[in-house]
Chain A
Amino acid sequence: MLKVVALAGNPNVGKTTIFNALTGLRQHVGNWPGVTVEKKEGIMKYKDKEFLVIDLPGTYSLTAHSIDELIARNFILEGNADVIVDVIDSSCLMRNLFLTMEILEMGVKNVIIALNKIDLAEKKGVKFNFKKMRKVLGVPVVPTNAKEGRGIAELKKTIVEMAEGKITTNPVTPVYDEIIEREISHISEVLKETALAEKYNLRWLSIKLLTRDEEVIKLVLRHLGHEKMDEILQHISELEQHYKRSLDIIIANQKYEFIDSLIHQFVTHFAEHKETLSDQLDKLLAHPIYGIISLFIVFYFLFKFVFTVGTPMQEALDSFFASLGDSIGSYITNETLRGLVVDGIIGGVGAVLSFFPLVFLLFVAMAVLEDSGYMARAAVVMERAMRKFGLPGKSFIPMVLAFGCNVPAIMATRALDDERDRILTMLVNPLVPCSARMVVITFLAGVFFENHKALVAVSIYAISLGLALISALILGKFVIKGEESPFIIELPDYLIPSWKTVIIHSWERSKEFLRKAGTVILAGAVAIWYLSNYPQPVGTGLSYAEMIGKTLEPLTKLMGLDWKAAVSLIFGIIAKENVIATYGVIYGVGHTEEALISLMRQAMTPLQAFILALVTTLYLPCIATIAAIRTEGGTKWALVASLYNLLLATVVGILAYHLGLFILG
């Protein structure tokens, strides 16, 4: 068993940069068991020794009110870590030491403080007496500037020494006023009689009881029984009457006062409180009007960058897979095997894989916005507009990314710290048309509406986006439980992102996309290849795909679409551009566009083409997206999203078709 090093700390303190500096590329991203909170693990090497580094969720405190805080707290509480590294932002000591005190108060001794962003603090004029700081806090303190690698070697060395038991600590813990202290000892006395005494720090349990921490109340109740518990709670109510406030406020307050008294012992110069460059930028970028204008400019250039760089790469990959298929195909004599390999595996997986450059670049763009501090401002600017539809401002980012590709967009929902918000954003996200659906929409609009193609394309986008917002409103009210979370967000100083962090981050995220291409998407591609080639190939009318299409025809007929459309839609589940390609296969004209266009024009009216484009946009998300929802939100929500979209597409398709018939007479 490797020894475990856990990283704790506030958000935006450079915890991830420290994590990367400790582990390099030897890392793995997954989820904490049972929840959709990201769990990052990596291996730290020191000489010939290896350690498992676990990145705990970034939190401001350790209450029971958010899942992130509970994960971090339980991890520490269960004693899972051999060393806890508390990463703190040295330019914002007061607030960061609050979490430190919450950790130390749990009675843990194996803590190291990484005093990060030390360069920034020094630039702001803060000066430390490190020796005094170590003495006052009672644990090792290592000044670091993770971005430039300063202090990392010493941090590693200290971690190893602590893991090997070579460091003795004497952590400081907050002291409260007499009344609170008396109550803490009183409750501790009562708890001493129970089995809790063996496993938990009684002082910590007592303090958490005073703040009416739900999880601790539940835990203590199991050991103490109702009678004694009521007695304690009665006492707490009396105290609250005395202070005329809930005790969580009083305790937090006294904790901050205690921290203030500590800081004055080891900080020799303080930063001036004045308007910073970030504040001046925020006057523009967080402004209700200029902010929105800047937001549009930022995202315009973001997509311009992603598509300018990514589209040629996508096309190159696409033709690479085509010629790969051809050249491999020429070596396979068995026709069935050739079909499976060339059309099924290389064709199907290749179609999805060719999107990899776009996905990766979107992640890069997103990581740059995140690490520069701009994401928080985008959330501020969009907060009011999004809130009208029951979504938080932060969900704007995943919604915008979805115009590129829904897969990174779904993964970006991780940035939302509330479970309800996260699931809701995930469910409506597929309704934002991605670039693959843009291909279908613009193709059909161009073929059938030469004079009004822009109008038609825009109207499909408008319907889809409108439905996304309405769906958010409806699903948020009736399907997903939970209160809307209040809007509280820290605005970190604007920073130039570290390229290393951006690239590692983007690679970690997009690696999951590649893994999916090798598993779920491969399986899906093979299945669809089978359906379209057995018992007879597509085009003969005897394939399973066509049979399914014909079975579905009575339903699609309600939207004015025949079995060919039904088959195309089925294949579109692999990748949405397949909707058009399938028509080519059915008509037996392959990729010759002109023949396809004239055949489609004969077979469909413009109204039917409009409906096909609309339904393609709305129905089942592609396999990669469904897989992403499953990873991020679980199987249940992947099913809900799929069924909801399918139902919505059917209803809207039928309505739009009949409305169209009515208008056109």
Chain B
Amino acid sequence: MLMYVRLSQMREGESGIVVDIQGGAGARQRLLGMGITPGVRVWVIKSSRPGPIIVAVGTSRIALGRGIADKIIVRREL
């Protein structure tokens, strides 16, 4: 099983640590402001393709489109 995956590839119930955010500055800075930053633990609440993916970041819940979820690299916790 791969350790490093894109957030969009994670399954429901899985969690991991964000290691990098790729993509344009606009989207990146929005993610940073919402607490999705390298080192933060995310936990996938809901991911049913091809719809958006819902992740838990601390106590808040954020829905992300597949496009932007592709740009977030996560180290999966086994």
Query: Which A residues are within 8 Å of any B CB, using their own CB?
Result: 59-61, 63, 65-66, 91-92, 94-95, 98-99, 124, 211-212, 245-246, 248-249, 252-253, 256-257, 271, 273, 275, 278-279, 282-283, 286-288, 376, 379-381, 383-384, 387, 393, 485-493
Contacts and interface: CB of A to CB of B under 8 A. Distances in A.
B32 A384 contact: no
Contacts of A489: 62-63
Nearest to A280: B45
B62 A488 contact: yes
Contacts of A246: 25, 28
A368 to B, nearest CB: 20
Interface string B30-41: 111111011110
Nearest to A490: B62
A256 B25 contact: no
A487 B67 contact: yes
B6 interface: no
Contacts of B57: 95
A279 B43 CA distance: 12
B25 A65 contact: yes
Given A246-B25, A491-B63, A282 B46 contact: yes
29 contacts: A60-B30, A61-B32, A65-B30, A66-B30, A94-B58, A95-B33, A95-B60, A99-B33, A211-B29, A245-B20, A249-B20, A249-B28, A249-B32, A249-B37, A252-B32, A256-B39, A278-B61, A279-B56, A282-B46, A282-B54, A393-B52, A485-B26, A486-B30, A486-B64, A487-B63, A488-B27, A488-B63, A488-B64, A490-B61
Contacts of B67: 486-487
Nearest to A211: B29
Chain B at the A interface: SS class? mixed
B45 A91 contact: no
Given A491-B61, A491-B62, A383 B51 contact: yes
Nearest to A373: B61
A485 B38 CA distance: 22
A343 to B, nearest CB: 52
Contact of B26 (A65, A98, A257): A65
Contacts of B52: 286, 380, 383-384, 393, 487
A257 B60 CA distance: 18
Contacts of B61: 278-279, 282, 490-493
Interface string B1-40: 0000000000000000000110101111111111101111
A95 B46 contact: no
Nearest to A12: B60
Interface of B: 20-21, 23, 25-35, 37-40, 43, 45-46, 48, 50-52, 54, 56-65, 67-68
A259 to B, nearest CB: 10
Contacts of A490: 34, 60-63
A253 B59 CA distance: 18
Contact of A288 (B31, B35, B40, B51): B51
Nearest 5 CB-CB pairings of A with B: A487-B65, A61-B33, A60-B33, A252-B32, A95-B35
A256 B40 contact: yes
B68 A252 contact: no
A66 B29 CA distance: 10
A59 B65 CA distance: 20
A420 B67 CA distance: 18
B59 A287 contact: no
A376 B52 CA distance: 12
A283 B45 CA distance: 8
A195 B33 CA distance: 30
B31 A488 contact: yes
Nearest to A385: B51
A278 B28 CA distance: 27
Contact of A273 (B25, B34, B58): B58
Given A253-B38, A282-B46, A487-B63, A98 B33 contact: yes
A339 to B, nearest CB: 57
Given A273-B59, A491-B61, A249 B38 contact: yes
Most chain A Cβ neighbours within 10 Å, of B29, B35, B43, B57: B29
B56 A273 contact: yes
A102 to B, nearest CB: 8
A60 B34 contact: yes
Contacts of A387: 65
A279 B25 contact: no
Given A94-B58, A95-B57, A491-B54, A486 B65 contact: yes
Nearest to B50: A384
Nearest to B39: A253
Nearest to A491: B61
Contact of B43 (A273, A283, A487): A273
A98 B35 contact: yes
A95 B30 contact: no
B51 A384 contact: yes
Nearest to A278: B61
Nearest to B38: A253
